Structure 1
Amino acid sequence: MAVKDIAKEDAIYPGKPVVVGRYNLPARINHWITAASLILLALSGLAFFHPSLFFLTGLFGGGQNARAFHPWIGVVLFFSFAGLFIRFWRANLPEKSDAEWLAHTNDVIAGHEDRLPEVGRYNAIQKFNFWVMALLIIGLILTGLAIWDQYFYNWTTIPQKRVAVLIHSLAAVALICIWIVHVYAAIWTRGTLRAMTRGSVTGGWAWKHHRRWLKELAERHRTKKPAAPAE
């Protein structure tokens, strides 16, 4: 079993129900800063994507403010996601069981998770989203710097800026789509949101969705006696 799936804060708290610690407070804060940055970037970016969406600049106090805030929020997103990347990249490395899990996609959709291979901390779709988001965010920051004329005008030529704008726009649309899938999956899989709000999941949720991760926790004798997090 892969040690990379276990974080320092992971622990099993006996009780009724059993509660499993999954994310500590710094990880949750890091996650929500990233989420907030993505939402603000999507709103401000879409405002410049098409004239019919320009009204969204009102959320930022007007077009000038939206244009000024957008790249700085992008910088916040980059460093915030970098924190998540450093924390979780090992747990998102592909492995043989991922292909086996994907082969049972119909069972995933039908909710027959008892027929799936045992999953570690993250399943194949979660890993895919993680790496795609990482690549898209890198692409966005690089192209964003290329068109941030206030500070980096002389870095690129006009033709290069035009290409950067196109790539930046396409990457942004792709990232928004990935984010929507991420949010939908979190809502669709009942009990998932609790992990990023309370930092814990129930033992039943862990057994159903990430059984290998739960087994590794138990086998490493990381069970703790303090009272479980409040329901």
Structure 2
Amino acid sequence: MNDNKPILRYTANERTNHWIVAILFMMAGLSGLALFHPALFWLSHLFGGGPWTRILHPFLGVAMFVFFLGLVVRFWRANFITANDRLWLRRVDRVMLNQEQGVPPVGKYNAGQKLLFWTLLACMLVLLLTGVVIWRAYFSHLFGIEVIRLSALAHALAAFVLVLSIIVHIYAGIWIKGSISAMLHGWVSRAWARKHHELWYREVTGDKTRGNHGRKEG
């Protein structure tokens, strides 16, 4: 076994899908902020003015949801919560301090990444459903004013949670060195995979050697 040979973490298609979603998120987020409050209306200039911002925002949101579904189809199986994940969450303080002792090994994603995945999916679904209700050009006339008001509130709350989640996602990617490089180039070192995702490392390499993690405890 060549210990210097890198491991493919993300294919070109997966990386492209991810960055398309990221770009659409930025565009939908900025256009949404422009429509959210008059103090932020200047952001509409990025999209050609107020009318174009109102036209483009819902289409950007739908496109973001569709491409995000591509990520869901690719990765949902790897994001189920396991017993090791629950133990990992109970010992997340050790993870934050970079102390490996007693922290169970994880698969392709740790429990924090999995919770983020399901949070993003829930927010995307809420944004899509409420966005349809308040989409004046096509659908809002089908709903009563109270439903539209509640949908607008839920839409704003889901967007707020989504933005916070993405900030956490970016911070974690910067904090764990090698994560951003994996999404840019697709490859990670064997040492990185063994340290951060030992069960996944064993699965893709066939190496059954135990890493530095402590044994699983009840």
**Do these two structures clear the TM 0.5 threshold for a shared fold by scoring above it?**
yes
Any stretches of 5+ residues in structure 1 without a counterpart? 1-12, 221-231
User: Partner residue of 1:56?
Assistant: 43
User: Partner residue of 2:172?
Assistant: 185
**Correspondence for 1:154 among 141, 155, 158:** 141
1:117 corresponds to 2:104: yes
User: Partner residue of 2:216?
Assistant: none
Pairing 1:48-127 to 2, within 5 Å after superposition: 48-127=35-114
Q: 1:51, 1:183 → 2: CA distance?
A: 28
- TM-score of the two chains, using structure 2 as the length reference: 0.91
1:27 corresponds to 2:36: no
1:49-70 per-position Cα deviation (integer Å, ceiling 9, x unaligned) = 2211111111111111111110
Check the 8 A contact 1:114/1:208 in 2, yes or no.
Answer: no
User: Partner residue of 1:47?
Assistant: 34
1:37 corresponds to 2:27: no
1:204-230 per-position Cα deviation (integer Å, ceiling 9, x unaligned) = 11011001100111228xxxxxxxxxx
* C-alpha RMSD over aligned residues: 1.6
How many residue pairs are counted as aligned between the two chains?
Answer: 208
Q: Which amino acid aligns with 1:106?
A: D
Check the 8 A contact 2:79/2:114 in 1, yes or no.
Answer: yes
Q: 1:93, 1:143 → 2: CA distance?
A: 27
Q: Secondary structure at the match of 2:36?
A: coil
Q: 2:108, 2:12 → 1: CA distance?
A: 18
Q: 1:69, 1:138 → 2: CA distance?
A: 19
Check the 8 A contact 2:85/2:110 in 1, yes or no.
Answer: yes
* Larger RCO of the pair (alpha carbons < 8 Å, separation 6+): 1
Q: 1:91, 1:139 → 2: CA distance?
A: 23
1:216 corresponds to 2:203: yes
1:170 corresponds to 2:157: yes
1:24-47 per-position Cα deviation (integer Å, ceiling 9, x unaligned) = 011001100111111111111111
Q: 1:188, 1:115 → 2: CA distance?
A: 21
* Cα offset, 1:155, TM superposition: 2.2
Any stretches of 5+ residues in structure 2 without a counterpart? 208-218
Q: Which amino acid aligns with 1:173?
A: F
Q: Which amino acid aligns with 1:122?
A: Y
- TM-score of the two chains, using structure 1 as the length reference: 0.86
User: Partner residue of 2:131?
Assistant: 144
Identity %: 43
* Cα offset, 1:116, TM superposition: 1.5
